[in-house]
Amino acid sequence: SEKVFKAVSQGNTADLHGLLDYLQLICSIPSDERNGKAALLKALLNLKDGRNDTIEVILDAAEKTEDLENLINASYTDPYYKEGGGDWWSCQTALHVAIERRSFEHVKLLVQKGADVQAKANGKFIQRTAEMGFYSGELPLSLAACTNQPDIVSFLMETPYRRADVTDRDSQGNTVLHTLVVIADNTKENTDVIAKMYDEILLQEIENTEGMTPLKLAAKLGKIELFRHMLHREFMDEETRPLSRRFTEWVYGPVHSSLYDMTSIDTNEEDSVLEIIIFGSEIPNRPEMLQIEPLRSLLQNKWERFASKLFLMNFLLYVVYLTIFTAVALHRKDGKKSLVFAVCCRQHSLTCVIMYGCGQEEYVALLVLSLALAWVNLLYYLRGSKQLGMYAFVALIRNPPTVVSAAQNLTADIQLQGGSLTTSVNKLSYRDVRFTILEMFKFTIGMGELQFTDDLQYKEVYHILLISYIVLTYILLLNMLIALMSNTVERLSNQSENIWNLQRAFTILDMERSLPKPQRHKLLSRSSKICLPETAWTHRNFSGKKKITKHV
């Protein structure tokens, strides 16, 4: 057997012909006991200028010994590459090696001789989790597609011997199209190769074991360039035109009108592309992905149709609630119980109400925290404004003086007397909001000192709010000033619109989910034309499929 392996490694057909009698005598083609490689695998691994004449000799000998099927489909494992009990090259067959060596002639020869086109090589080297490997989908078709060999891909899909099943999945649950999405890296060269190979196969609705189509997987993994290609894919041939996602209606110079197939994109379907991108916090470039048409126009459509109106209504209701909450908390008459429990319906509210009902004075601490958080939560509604949405956190430094003033007044005012809540004012250094703001400003610029009074109750809450104010003003404000003198602000300004659009997209879907199902279905399935300003986009419904039309 050593002479056989030496002959195939050197491509010496003369020496191998002299061993044919030996091969027929043992009725099988030997395997190398040191690494588990059959002679055919050894020959394919030692191609010179794409050829090794001993391969045909080995196949002829295997046919005579009736061992051809076992020889062609034999896999190998190399003990040298074992790690953690698993083999790096497990189950790799001669067909995998021929594809990896980019030898189209040998691929055709092996398939003609009966090679299994669905054989799966599941070694660690080609697993998706391998640190030093190359994930290629395990299947021969996936390997050919991932290594940019369109001729082999076409042959495996159209061969008269045994065609490759493009719906077959590897151990990761991915088909060949999902594998192409996984290996995409958003560079132009890589995207061009992957997109070309993707269009050769193109089964866009096929799902992996997680129920994801290639389009959804590209959205989940943040493969923005391939994702853009999928959405803008358009075929001009009549035979393949139905597979397009974009349909150009007319072109007049630089002006054009196109329709987009919205299947699996809009939220009327479960796990839609829009939801995957917006709620996929692990996607690094999701703000940019939302700017790809037709996603951008779809979100703009939703915002103008219903989300902006619902958002404004929620904002007004929240302002009314917050005004009442703050007024009741700050203005109580002596000797009368506070009615704050009637409107205290935010965080810690249940505990606050129970403690108030039981006559426990400690409810004031929870009330102060609830009041502070309620005002900070007002920043959520700044995302409705394009100018303020990006820099909403700046408003934080404006609210703490009011909150601290409320905390000081509340903690100094309320005392428990005879089982009832009364107001007792001994000394108030911070008598109103205006005085507190002035003192805080003087303290911030180093021109004053804070007067800590001894009659304050729950000083821990007071100190927490005060320290929070100092951190927000000193640290954040200082860093903002530094950023103004660097390129950070310029960079953020360039990205601010995309980030704001992402914030608004969150709001749009939140508003949409708050609607009753009948109303939501009516909005999503609406077939009337809705023109959007400036970009003149139109939302239509054709034969049950949603389309977006652009008039530039």
**What pLDDT, on a 0 to 100 scale, did the predictor assign at position 133?**
66
Candidates 412, 411, 378; CA nearest to 395 is 378
Domain count for the chain, please give it: 1
Packing angle between helix 176-183 and helix 214-221, nearest 10 degrees? 20
The answer to whether residue 148 is domain-embedded is no
Judge contact between 129 and 171, C-beta under 8 A: no
**pTM beyond 0.75, yes or no:** no
The answer to whether residue 361 is domain-embedded is yes
Judge contact between 191 and 233, C-beta under 8 A: no
The Cα–Cα gap between 515 and 268 comes to: 13
The answer to whether residue 535 is domain-embedded is no
H or E element in which residue 157 lies: helix 150-158
Judge contact between 386 and 493, C-beta under 8 A: no
The answer to whether residue 519 is domain-embedded is no
**What pLDDT, on a 0 to 100 scale, did the predictor assign at position 29?**
57
Q: What does the pLDDT profile of the chain (552 residues) look like in tens digits?
A: 567 777 777 777 776 666 566 666 555 555 555 555 677 888 888 888 888 888 888 888 778 777 778 778 877 655 444 444 445 555 688 899 999 999 999 999 999 988 999 988 877 776 766 555 678 888 999 999 999 999 999 999 998 888 999 989 988 889 999 999 999 988 999 999 999 999 888 787 888 888 899 999 999 999 999 999 999 998 888 888 888 888 888 888 888 888 888 888 988 888 899 999 999 888 988 999 999 988 998 999 899 888 999 999 999 999 999 898 888 877 755 444 554 444 444 444 555 555 555 555 566 777 778 888 888 888 888 877 776 665 554 444 344 444 444 444 444 443 333 333 334 444 445 556 677 777 767 766 666 666 655 566 667 777 787 777 777 776 777 677 776 666 666 666 667 778 888 889 999 998 888 888 888 777 776 533 333 333 333 333 333 344 444 433
The answer to whether residue 230 is domain-embedded is no
With H, G, I as helix, E, B as strand and everything else as coil, classify residue 33. coil
**What pLDDT, on a 0 to 100 scale, did the predictor assign at position 162?**
87
The DSSP-derived string for 351-396 is HHHHHHHTT-TTHHHHHHHHHHHHHHGGGGGGGGSHHHHTTGGGGG
The Cα–Cα gap between 79 and 158 comes to: 36
Buried b (16+ CB within 10 A) or exposed e, 134-172: ebbbbbbbbbbbbbebeebbebbbeeeeeebebebbbeb
The answer to whether residue 433 is domain-embedded is yes
The answer to whether residue 457 is domain-embedded is yes
Domain of 402, in residue numbers: 301-494
Judge contact between 197 and 150, C-beta under 8 A: yes
The answer to whether residue 166 is domain-embedded is no
